[in-house]
Structure 1
Amino acid sequence: MRLDPYLGDVTGISSLMVDESRTIARLLSKKLSDHQWTEAIEEQNLIQKGSIQTARRQARCIRYRLKDLPKNYLEVIENGTAKETKQLLLFALLHHSTLAFDFFNYAVVQPQSVFKTEMPKHIWDSFLNQQYNENISQLADSTLIKIRKNLIASFVEAGYVENTKSLKYLNVFVEPIVHQLGDELGRSDILTLMSGRV
């Protein structure tokens, strides 16, 4: 799957999709053949979607998001605690989408560094005005709205924001397994942000 390296898969799936990601992590651990993968996703409908097209698209996006993770981390996503799984999935999102990384920094980390307690309501528009990217400028307004909703929902699901209405920031303890993954993949920059440091 070839995706824009700046956007990543932020338009393909909503939030972290924990249940579906657990299933995809299990399938990736098995190193299925293309035929076995198609059978699992399209015929057995293991991620339980209403249409083959939706199942195929979401499975492809989650697979892309998890593709760099060694098998032992896939096993944690499948069988770990809710907090471990969600933080690993957020790490994977930030790893594969520079847009997600930049917006997490801009909308979650930086405001807290100046003692804000909740995400400013119009921070997405402010982000787009300051973070010019040719690929973003070509997207339709409806797509940009979808990306904003998907990213903020992901930050909520990972425990960094209370909910999509209050947008209150929450304190997060980053799980040791996430630090281990960051060290292994050489992504101390992600660990810095997830730990709340600018």
Structure 2
Amino acid sequence: MRYRADITAGSLKLPESRIIADLLMRQVDPTGWTQAIQAENLLQARNPETARRLCRLIRARLETMEAGLWKLVRDGKGDVATHAVFAAAVKHSPLLGDFLQSIVCEQYRRFAKTLSNSLWSEYLTGCRERDPEMPLWNETTRRRLRSSVFQMLAQAGYIENTRSLRLQKVHIAEPVLRYLRAHSEKYVLRCIEVAP
């Protein structure tokens, strides 16, 4: 199954991603993970289940990449860390990556000013054609997925904010591009380099 709804658990979550990247880089053992996430509540979640869910999502994202990217997440300033997390999110979620590659890219190509909620709905319909095993999500899940994706696009700089959805030029941080090129992350590069 290509498309999953796991991104509804959150947007880029940069502060939390820095914590998870640090744990990964320190090669913390399972007991250490439990101590950090549940006992110490390093992610500052409302309850242990939320902490575990958030940890699972962020860790799964970051583990699609290697230590070089984790270092950019943990130690990078501003756009470097944000774009590093975004690259991992794109690799982890083809639902996000394919939206960038097909819909967002096309809007830039057409010199469109904004994205729209209807573009997201049309995109999800197209996803079912590409992945017949995709779950049938109810309207609430579809809205939450759209909200998460648009939040990530705003955080990474592709749109001005989630209210206007106004497209803007975005220049991916060079250290992130260097990492992706060095690791032959061609799909991720195609997805994130859609802005003119």
Superposed pair shares fold, TM > 0.5: yes
Q: CA deviation at 1:117?
A: 1.4
Deviation at 1:197, TM superposition (A): 6.2
% of aligned pairs identical?
27
Q: TM-score, normalised by structure 2?
A: 0.91
Rounded to whole Å, the distance in 1 between the matches of 2:7 and 2:171 is 25
The one-character-per-residue Cα deviations of 1:123-160 (angstroms, maximum 9, x if unpaired) are 11111222213343422221121111111110101111
1:75 alignment counterpart? 71
Q: Is 1:99 aligned with 2:95?
A: yes
Please say which of residues 101-110 and 135-144 is displaced more in the overlay: 135-144
Partner of residue 7, structure 1:
4
5+ residue gaps, structure 1, are none
| Number of residue equivalences | 194
Match of 1:136 in 2: 134
Q: Name which of structure 1's ranges 107-116 and 129-138 shifts more when overlaid on structure 2.
A: 129-138
More deviation, 168-177/126-135: 126-135
Checking the alignment, whether the CA contact within 8 Å between 1:9 and 1:65 is kept in structure 2 is no
Question: Which stretch of structure 1 is more off in the superposition, 174-183 or 27-36?
Answer: 174-183
TM-score, normalising length from structure 1? Answer: 0.90
| Contact 2:83 2:173 (8 Å CA) reproduced | yes
SS class of match (2:86): helix
Q: For the structure 1 residues 93 and 21, does the alpha-carbon distance in structure 2 shift closer, same or farther, using more than 3 Å as the test?
A: same
1:108 maps to which of 104, 108, 118: 104
Structure 1 letter corresponding to 2:79 = K
**Secondary structure, aligned partner of 1:142:** helix
Match of 1:151 in 2: 149
Q: Which residue of 2 aligns with 1:33?
A: 29
Aligned to 2:178: 180
Counterpart position of 1:192: 190
Instruction: Give how far 1:5 is off.
Output: 4.5
Residue aligned with 1:150, SS = helix
Distance in 2 separating the partners of 1:95 and 1:145: 22
CA distance in 1, matches of 2:59, 2:45: 16
CA–CA separation in structure 1 for the residues paired with 2:75 and 2:81 = 8
Letter in 2 for 1:41: I
